[in-house]
Structures are given as C-alpha cells and as structure tokens.
Amino acid sequence: MTSIKQLREECTDELFCAGNSTCAGCGLELAIRWAMKALGPRTAMVAPASCLNVIVGLWPKTAPSYPFINMAFAAGAAAATGIRAAYDIKGKEDMNVVVFAGDGGTTDIGIQALSGAAERGSNIIYACYDNEAYMNTGRQRSSSTPYGASTTTTPTGKRQHKKNVPLIMASHGIYVATCSISDIPDLYDKFKKAASLPGCKYIQIMAPCPPGWRYDPSDTVRIADLVVKTGMWILYEIENGKLRLTGKSARLLDKDQRLPVVEYLSEQGRFSKISEQDIQELQTWVDKNWEDLKRWM
Ligand SMILES: Cc1ncc(C[n+]2csc(CCOP(=O)(O)OP(=O)(O)O)c2C)c(N)n1
Ligand code: SF4
Ligand SMILES: [Mg+2]
C-alpha cells in the first residue's frame, strides 16, 4: 500500500484546483482531489447533475485542469462510453475516462446506464461519491440514504435501508471497490488499480457532507472514520469475484471489534430524532451486511 509519506512526496500536483466553491469540510472535494492525483492529467471526467457541476465554477476559472464535461443526470456512464470510443478511434488509448457522480445520480438515476456500461465492458471508471442524499438541491433522500436519517423528504427518518450498489455492480463481474475519505492511501491505491485494469470499474466513496448531515465542518474526516469503525460502511475491493477487506475494515470481521452504530449516529443532526428501536434496526442491518459479505470472500 502507498504510504502517507509517499503520497506527500509524490502527489504534489493539484489537478482539481483550490479556490472552488465547495462548502467548508466537503467530503467530495477530498475525494476528487485524491482520485485525480491517482489518475493523473491524462484523464477526462464526466459529471452528471450534482454538487460537482456547481463547485467547479465558471470558465475560465474552473477547478478541473483536465477535460471535464457536465452531463444530464441519467447519462453519466453512457457519455463516458462515447468519450472512450472517441479517444480510442483517435489512438488516445492511454486516456482515462472517469465518471464522478453523486449517489442520486448513481444509485437512483444513473444505474441503468451504469449497468449497461458494465455489461458491455466499456473501458471506463465509474466513481460514485456518496453523501447519502440529493445535496445540491437541498437534501432530498436517495436510495443511498441510510435508514433513520432525516432529509427534507423523510422528515421523520427514512424507512428503507441503503441500497447496496457495490454488490449490485460486483454481480456484473467487474472490479468494484469501496473507499472512505478518511483513508486516502486506500482510496489512492484503488483508483490506481482501477486505472490499470481493462473494462468497466466501479468505485463508491463515502464522502460526508457537513450541511447535509448536520455536523461541524471540522469533523468530516472523523465522521468518515467513524462510519468505517462502526462497520456501517465497509472498505473492500472485489476482483475476479473475490472480496478482500482493506484499511480499518480488515480488522472488523469479528463483530466485537466494531464500535456500536450509535457512536456514529449520535454525532450527526440528521439522526438526532432517531428512536432506540431504529438504532437497533440499523445495528441488526450492519451485522447482517457483514455476514452477507462472507459469501464473497
Ligand atoms: C433530470 C433532472 N432532474 C433534476 C435535476 C436537479 N438536480 C440537480 S443536482 C441534483 C441532486 C443530485 O444529487 P446527487 O447525485 O446525490 O449529487 P449531490 O448533489 O449530492 O452532490 C438534482 C435533483 C436535474 N439537474 N436534472
Ligand atoms: S452540499 Fe455537501 S457535497 Fe455539496 S458542496 Fe456542500 S459539503 Fe460538498
Ligand atoms: Mg448525493
């Protein structure tokens, strides 16, 4: 694994530039900066409707210093497939083509195009930064919002569990990885690996959002670490159908090593009204997720 010392020494170029308009403590910004450090300047990015469209700013002062296109919500993976084909025809096979999409644009609206690209084996990387709601339009629930979280469309707490898109994509037989912005070396290595593999690759990144989750912006990395330590988000990669736990998740297969979910929930305003019964429901769901993962090991 790449060490933090190596990252400090080798990754000094900023491809996603400072001075953009993310909120303070935005998890998306960390995710995209480090993903781009791994992918390098020979990368073109497709961004379906999301916070990312807005935070890049207006030309000529846009944050991405590489080819970047805003795209209709449903069309991220389809657009990337077309760009890939164009680069290949032009003999630019070395270009990476990456989609950087929100959870709404992925788990709800973009999943059809994503599934199509995976089935066809389009040579693209599809990255979903998961802030667990439609944040750019003011915090509506998505299928990636966790059970019990309040949003503007679930004011008393969502009644459905988070959709497991990484495993849906793994069922397509492609490379799948999960990351958290609390573990940058792990994220960096997974993007590097994805860039080295043929076909369609899917990476989902836990990327907390201070205004949407209602916590202090200075706590973003700590919150992203707690979601891993409680096992509510599991770090792994699936290659050739085999799952390998990574980062802090590698030590958490034993239930006793995981922190209780309440330690994560109690830090965020979006769970402030959650009942004891709902906390128990979430804990049971987490423990079952870990059991289900064993089938992939
Ligand atoms: C077809 C369509 N419907 C609605 C919108 C409005 N819209 C723009 S961004 C957005 C939220 C996207 O949520 P997500 O994909 O999770 O990204 P985030 O905003 O959280 O970064 C919505 C609903 C749109 N641009 N296009
Ligand atoms: S609303 Fe959330 S995801 Fe969007 S820019 Fe602000 S912190 Fe980042
Ligand atoms: Mg979102």
- Atom 3 in ligand 2: which residue has the minimum CA distance? 209
pLDDT digits (tens, 9 = 90+) for 95-114: 999 999 999 999 999 999 99
Compute the distance between CA of residue 26 and CA of residue 173 in angstroms, rounded to an integer.
32
**Predicted pLDDT at 63:** 96
Which of 16, 20, 55 has most ligand 2 atoms within 8 Å of CB, for mutation?
55
pLDDT, the chain, mean: 97
Q: Which two tokens stand for residue 38?
A: 């791994």
Q: Which two tokens stand for residue 178?
A: 């999960």
pLDDT, mean of residues 148-154: 98
Q: Tell me which of 54-63, 70-79, 86-95, 193-202 is least confident.
A: 54-63
Distance 134 CA to ligand 2 centre (A): 10
**Ligand 1 atom closest to Cα of residue 142:** 16
pLDDT, mean of residues 275-293: 97
Q: Residue 147: which of 290, 279, 289 has the closest Cα?
A: 279
Distances (CA, A) of 144 to 107, 149, 173: 7, 11, 22
**Predicted pLDDT at 59:** 87
pLDDT digits (tens, 9 = 90+) for 65-81: 999 999 999 999 999 99
Distance 136 CA to ligand 1 centre (A): 6
Q: Residue 20: which of 79, 71, 68 has the closest Cα?
A: 68
pLDDT, mean of residues 215-231: 98
Rounded to the nearest 10 degrees, the angle between the axes of helix 111-120 and helix 76-89 is 40
pLDDT, mean of residues 197-223: 98
Give yes or no for residue 93 having a pLDDT over 90: yes
- Atom 2 in ligand 1: which residue has the minimum CA distance? 73
CB 224 within 8 Å of CB 184? no
Q: Residue 26: nearest ligand to its CA?
A: 2
- Atom 22 in ligand 1: which residue has the minimum CA distance? 137
pLDDT digits (tens, 9 = 90+) for 5-47: 999 998 999 999 998 999 999 999 999 999 999 999 999 999 9
Name the CA dihedral angle for 166, 249, 4, 165, rounded to a multiple of 10 degrees: 10
**Predicted pLDDT at 280:** 98
pLDDT digits (tens, 9 = 90+) for 258-267: 999 999 999 9
Compute the distance between CA of residue 137 and CA of residue 135 in angstroms, rounded to an integer.
5
Which of 22, 134, 213 has most ligand 1 atoms within 8 Å of CB, for mutation?
134
pLDDT digits (tens, 9 = 90+) for 127-143: 999 999 999 999 999 99
CB 179 within 8 Å of CB 187? yes
Which of 21, 32, 51 has most ligand 1 atoms within 8 Å of CB, for mutation?
51
Binding-site residues, ligand 1, Cβ < 6 A = 49-51, 73, 102-105, 131, 134-137, 142
Residue 17, Cβ density class (10 Å: 0-12 exposed, 13-18 middle, ≥19 buried) = middle
Distance 26 CA to ligand 2 centre (A): 5
* Residue ranges with CB less than 5 Å from ion ligand 3: 102-103, 131, 135
Q: Residue 106: which of 194, 35, 189, 207 has the closest Cα?
A: 207
Distance 128 CA to ligand 1 centre (A): 13
| Residue 201: strand pairing partners | 125, 175
Return the percentage of the chain with pLDDT > 90, whole number. 98
Identity (one letter) of the amino acid at 172? H
